[in-house]
C-alpha cells in the first residue's frame, strides 16, 4: 500500500532526494503498518522524532496506519 | 537579601517628582518581581481609567534580572489595559530589565501625565526629564537612531512609536529596537502619559547570596539548554515559526478569522520556508543561549524577521500566503509600534465583515497590498484606520456583528484554534488579560506531549493542568525569565537559582504558590474593574462550529476550573482561599 509521508523541520534532511518540502510517497510492502515501522522504513532515528500525526491526529508508536493515510512526522520543537 | 536591589523608583509625570522607596522584603518574597510586583502595586490603588493620569504603569525586573542567569535581561510591564479594561502584563526581551536593576531599582512606578511630551534618562540615583521635542511623532527606527548614540553602551531603551502617541488601543512599546511589549495597549498608556521613551543606564552590581552556588546552577542550566533539542536546535534554527506546520497539521491553525482551522498554503509561510528563503542570521536577548530571533533578507536589506504569532496573524488569519508580504507587514507593525496579533485579528475581523457585506468599505481576505496600506493608517488613525485602531471588538460592535470579533475580554485571540485544543480554549477564556496563550500554554500537553500527551479534543481533565501552567507562567513572568527556558528546565531549576541568588529556602512548590497568589490577585483586580463570570467566555463560533476539530466545551471546563480554584459561582475566590494565599489585605 501507499502512504503520504511529510517530514518537518530538522527531519527534512532524511527525506529522499525527490521529496518536495519534505513530502513523499512511501510504498509499504505489507497491507498494514504501524507508526514505529514507518519511522524505520523512512530511516528516521527514534530519538529524533517526538510527534507523529496520522491524518492530523497524534498517533502512538504502535498505532496501525491505513492505506492512503497522511503521516506527518516532527522532531522535538516548540515556540509560542 | 540577595537578588533584589531593595529599591523602587516612583515617578510622577505631572509634578516631575522622582521618589525612591525601599522595596518591602515581604512584598519581594510574596510577589517575586515583574508581573507579581505589577499586580501588587496596581491592586493597592483604586482602579483607574486606562488612559487617564491615575493609571499606574509598572515596569519591573525580578530577583534574577541583571545576573548571568540565562534570559535574565527581560522586563515586565503591568498596567490597566485600554483595549480590555483588565489588568495587563506584558514581558519583553532585550536588556531593559537588566539595566533597570543595574541602576539599583527593582521597579519603576509611573503615574500622571506630562504637560508636554518627555523622555526620561535614568541612571543610578538620578532621573533626567527631557523634552521629547521632535522625537514625538517619529517612528520606532528613527527614535532608536536618535536615542542610541545619546544613551551610551551600558544603556537600554524602551520607546513607543506613532501608534502609541495616537492612542491606538493595541499599540505596544519597543525595547532596544527589536523586542516588544506587545499585547494589551501598553504603548497607548505611555502615549496618554506623553512619555515617548525611557533610557536606563547603569552598571551597579546585583548582589547574590551565594555567588559560587549561583554560578554553578547557571553553568548546569546553560548545559541543559544547550543539550535540549528544542532550545539548542529547533528554536535557534527555525525560530518560533517552526510551529506553523505543526499547528496546521494538527488542524489547530486558525485561518481567515477562525473560519477554518487549516490553512492549505501553510508551507509557504512556515518556519522551514522562512529559513530556506529569507533567514540570514539570528538574534538573542540579553544572556540568552537560545537566540530565537530572526534576521531576514528582504530586497537586499537585513531586517528583523517575524515570529510565529506574527506570521499567523498577518498571514494565515488574513488568508495571505506570501511570506515577503507577511515580513513587510510585520516590519510595518514594528515601525509604528503596533501589536501584530491584535493588528492581524482586527484586520481579519474587518475582512469577514466586508465579506458579509457589513463594512461600508471593501477589504478582501488575501489582499496583501491592502493590508500593507492599512497598517500605517491604523497607526495614524487615518481613514479606515481610525475605526480599526480600537480593535476587533469595537469594530464588530460598530457594524452590528459582535460575534465576528475573535477575542476574549477584548483581546484578539492568538494562533491556536481551541477547537483542536480544548484546554487552550479554557486558557483563552480564563486569562486575566484576555485572549492569550502565554498565561498557561497548553501547547505542551495538547500538541507536543510535554510533559505528557493528553487528548487535545477532550475537555475533561484540562482544568487542573491549565491551572498548574497558569501558576508556572505567572512565576516565570515574575522571576522574570523567558518562558522558552521551560522547554528544557523544570521548576526545581528556577528554585535553585532563587535559593542561590536570594539566600531564601525556595522550592518548586513555592513558585506554584507565588503563581497562584498572583493569579488570584489579578482576578480580584478584574472583579473590582467590573469583570465577572460572564466575561470568562469565547466567541460563539468556537462554541458552535467544529471547524476541523470540535466545538469548545467551555461550560463544563469552566465548572471544573472554578471548583479547582475554589472560586464561587460569582467568580470570586473564596475568602478561605485568599487567606491561604495571604491576600486577606486585598479583600
Ligand atoms: S528564547 Fe528568544 S525570546 Fe526568549 S530570551 Fe532567548 S531570544 Fe529572547
ipTM of the predicted structure? 0.94
- Average pLDDT along chain B: 97
B44 and B157 co-located in one domain: yes
| Contact residues on chain A for B251, CB-CB shorter than 8 A | 56
Q: Would you put residue A9 in left (φ > 0), alpha (ψ -120 to 50) or beta?
A: left
Look at chain B and report how many structural domains it folds into. 3
B249 and B323 co-located in one domain: yes
Stretch B524-528: mean pLDDT: 98
Q: How far is CA B544 from CA B88, B511, B541, B551, in A?
A: 29, 37, 5, 5
Stretch B286-308: mean pLDDT: 95
pLDDT at A61 over 80: yes
pLDDT at B116 over 90: yes
Please report, for the domain that includes residue A33, its CATH number: 3.10.20.30
* A42 neighbors A55 (Cβ within 8 angstroms): no
pLDDT at B153: 82
Q: Would you put residue B256 in left (φ > 0), alpha (ψ -120 to 50) or beta?
A: left
pLDDT at B584 over 90: no
Indicate the pLDDT class of residue B103, thresholds 50, 70 and 90: very high
* B296 neighbors B274 (Cβ within 8 angstroms): yes
* B298 neighbors B245 (Cβ within 8 angstroms): no
- Does the distance separating the beta carbons of A58 and B230 come in below 8 Å? no
pLDDT tens-digit map of B220-229: 999 999 999 9
B392 and B423 co-located in one domain: no
pLDDT tens-digit map of B152-178: 888 999 999 999 999 999 999 999 999
- The Å distance, Cα B80 to ligand 1 centre, comes to 26
Q: Would you put residue A64 in left (φ > 0), alpha (ψ -120 to 50) or beta?
A: beta
d(CA B405, CA B400): 11
Protein residue with its CA nearest to atom 2 in ligand 1: B292
- The Å distance, Cα B492 to ligand 1 centre, comes to 21
B468 and B560 co-located in one domain: yes
pLDDT tens-digit map of B381-425: 999 999 999 999 999 999 999 999 999 999 999 999 999 999 999
B235 touches chain A (CB under 8 A): yes
The b/e string for B110-128 (b: 16+ C-beta within 10 A; e otherwise) is: bbbbbeebbbbbbbeeebe
pLDDT at B135 over 80: yes
Domain containing residue B167: 7-200
Look at chain A and report how many structural domains it folds into. 1
- Does the distance separating the beta carbons of A10 and B237 come in below 8 Å? yes
pTM above 0.95, yes or no: yes
Indicate the pLDDT class of residue B378, thresholds 50, 70 and 90: very high
Please report, for the domain that includes residue B346, its CATH number: 1.10.569.10
Domain containing residue A8: 2-74
* Residue B210 within a domain: no
d(CA B238, CA B279): 9
The sign one gets for the Cα dihedral B341, B342, B346, B352 is positive
pLDDT tens-digit map of B258-274: 999 999 999 999 999 99
* Residue B207 within a domain: no
Indicate the pLDDT class of residue B50, thresholds 50, 70 and 90: very high
B192 and B83 co-located in one domain: yes
pLDDT tens-digit map of B430-478: 999 999 999 999 999 999 988 889 999 999 999 999 999 999 999 999 9
The answer to whether the bond into B480 is cis (omega within 30° of 0) is yes
pLDDT at B587 over 80: no
pLDDT at B412: 98
Domain end point (choices B412, B437, B467): B412
Amino acid at each position: 500500500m501507499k502512504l503520504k509521508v511529510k517530514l518537518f523541520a530538522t527531519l527534512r534532511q532524511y527525506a529522499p532526494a525527490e521529496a518536495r518540502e519534505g513530502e513523499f510517497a512511501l510504498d509499504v510492502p505489507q497491507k498494514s503498518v504501524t507508526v514505529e515501522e514507518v519511522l524505520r522504513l523512512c530511516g528516521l532515528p527514534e530519538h529524533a522524532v517526538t510527534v507523529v500525526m496520522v491524518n492530523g491526529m497524534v498517533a502512538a508508536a504502535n498505532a496501525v496506519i491505513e492505506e492512503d493515510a497522511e503521516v506527518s512526522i516532527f522532531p522535538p520543537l516548540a515556540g509560542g | 537579601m540577595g537578588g533584589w536591589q531593595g529599591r523602587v523608583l516612583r515617578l510622577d509625570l505631572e509634578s516631575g517628582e522622582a521618589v525612591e522607596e525601599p522595596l518591602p522584603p515581604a512584598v519581594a518574597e510574596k510577589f517575586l518581581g515583574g508581573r507579581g510586583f505589577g499586580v501588587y502595586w496596581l491592586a493597592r490603588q483604586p482602579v483607574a481609567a486606562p488612559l487617564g493620569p491615575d493609571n499606574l504603569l509598572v515596569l519591573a525586573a525580578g530577583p534574577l534580572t541583571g545576573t548571568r542567569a540565562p534570559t535574565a535581561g527581560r522586563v515586565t510591564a503591568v498596567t490597566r489595559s485600554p483595549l480590555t479594561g483588565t489588568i495587563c502584563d506584558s514581558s519583553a526581551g532585550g536588556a531593559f530589565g537588566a539595566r533597570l536593576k543595574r541602576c539599583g531599582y527593582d521597579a519603576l512606578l509611573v503615574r500622571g501625565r506630562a504637560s508636554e511630551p518627555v523622555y526620561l534618562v535614568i541612571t543610578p540615583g538620578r532621573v533626567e526629564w527631557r523634552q521629547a521635542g521632535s522625537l514625538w511623532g517619529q517612528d520606532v527606527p528613527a527614535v532608536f537612531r536618535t536615542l542610541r548614540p545619546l544613551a551610551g553602551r551600558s544603556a537600554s531603551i524602551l520607546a513607543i512609536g506613532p501608534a502609541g502617541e495616537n492612542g491606538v488601543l493595541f499599540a505596544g512599546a519597543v525595547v532596544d529596537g527589536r523586542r516588544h511589549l506587545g499585547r494589551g495597549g501598553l504603548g497607548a498608556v505611555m502615549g496618554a502619559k506623553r512619555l515617548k521613551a525611557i533610557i536606563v543606564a547603569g552598571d551597579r552590581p546585583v548582589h547574590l547570596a551565594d555567588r559560587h552556588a549561583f554560578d554553578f546552577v547557571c553553568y548546569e542550566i546553560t548545559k541543559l539548554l544547550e543539550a535540549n533539542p528544542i532550545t539548542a536546535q529547533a528554536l535557534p534554527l527555525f525560530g518560533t515559526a517552526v510551529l506553523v506546520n505543526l499547528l496546521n497539521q494538527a488542524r489547530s491553525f486558525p485561518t481567515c478569522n477562525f473560519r477554518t482551522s487549516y490553512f492549505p498554503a501553510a508551507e509557504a509561510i512556515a518556519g522551514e520556508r522562512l529559513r530556506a528563503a529569507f533567514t540570514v542570521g539570528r538574534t538573542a536577548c540579553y544572556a540568552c543561549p537560545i537566540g530565537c530571533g530572526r534576521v531576514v533578507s528582504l530586497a537586499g536589506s537585513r531586517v528583523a524577521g517575524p515570529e510565529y504569532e506574527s506570521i499567523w496573524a498577518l498571514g494565515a488569519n488574513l488568508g495571505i500566503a506570501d511570506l515577503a508580504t507577511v515580513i513587510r507587514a510585520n516590519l510595518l507593525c514594528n515601525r509604528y509600534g503596533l501589536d501584530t496579533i491584535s493588528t492581524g485579528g482586527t484586520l481579519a475581523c474587518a475582512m469577514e465583515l466586508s465579506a458579509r457585506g457589513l463594512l461600508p468599505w471593501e477589504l478582501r481576505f488575501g489582499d496583501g497590498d491592502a493590508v500593507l496600506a492599512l497598517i500605517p493608517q491604523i497607526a495614524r488613525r487615518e481613514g479606515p484606520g481610525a475605526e480599526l485602531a480600537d480593535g476587533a471588538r469595537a469594530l464588530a460592535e460598530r457594524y452590528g456583528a459582535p460575534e465576528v470579533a475573535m477575542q476574549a475580554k477584548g483581546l484578539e485571540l492568538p494562533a491556536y484554534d481551541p477547537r483542536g485544543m480544548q484546554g487552550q480554549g479554557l486558557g483563552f477564556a480564563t486569562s486575566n488579560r484576555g485572549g492569550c496563550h502565554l498565561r498557561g500554554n497548553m501547547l505542551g500537553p495538547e500538541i507536543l506531549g510535554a510533559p505528557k500527551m493528553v487528548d487535545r479534543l477532550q475537555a475533561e481533565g484540562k482544568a487542573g493542568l491549565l491551572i498548574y501552567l497558569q501558576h508556572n507562567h505567572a512565576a516565570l513572568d515574575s522571576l522574570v525569565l523567558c518562558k522558552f527556558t521551560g522547554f528544557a528546565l523544570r521548576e526545581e531549576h528556577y528554585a535553585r537559582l532563587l535559593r542561590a541568588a536570594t539566600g531564601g529556602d525556595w522550592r518548586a512548590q513555592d513558585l506554584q504558590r507565588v503563581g497562584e497568589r498572583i493569579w488570584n490577585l489579578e482576578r480580584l483586580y478584574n472583579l473590582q474593574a467590573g469583570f465577572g463570570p460572564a466575561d470568562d467566555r469565547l466567541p460563539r463560533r468556537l462554541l458552535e462550529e467544529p471547524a476541523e476539530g470540535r466545538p469548545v466545551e467551555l461550560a463544563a471546563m469552566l465548572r471544573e476550573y472554578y471548583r479547582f480554584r475554589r472560586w464561587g459561582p460569582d467568580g470570586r475566590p473564596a475568602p478561605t482561599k485568599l487567606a491561604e494565599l495571604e491576600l486577606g489585605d486585598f479583600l
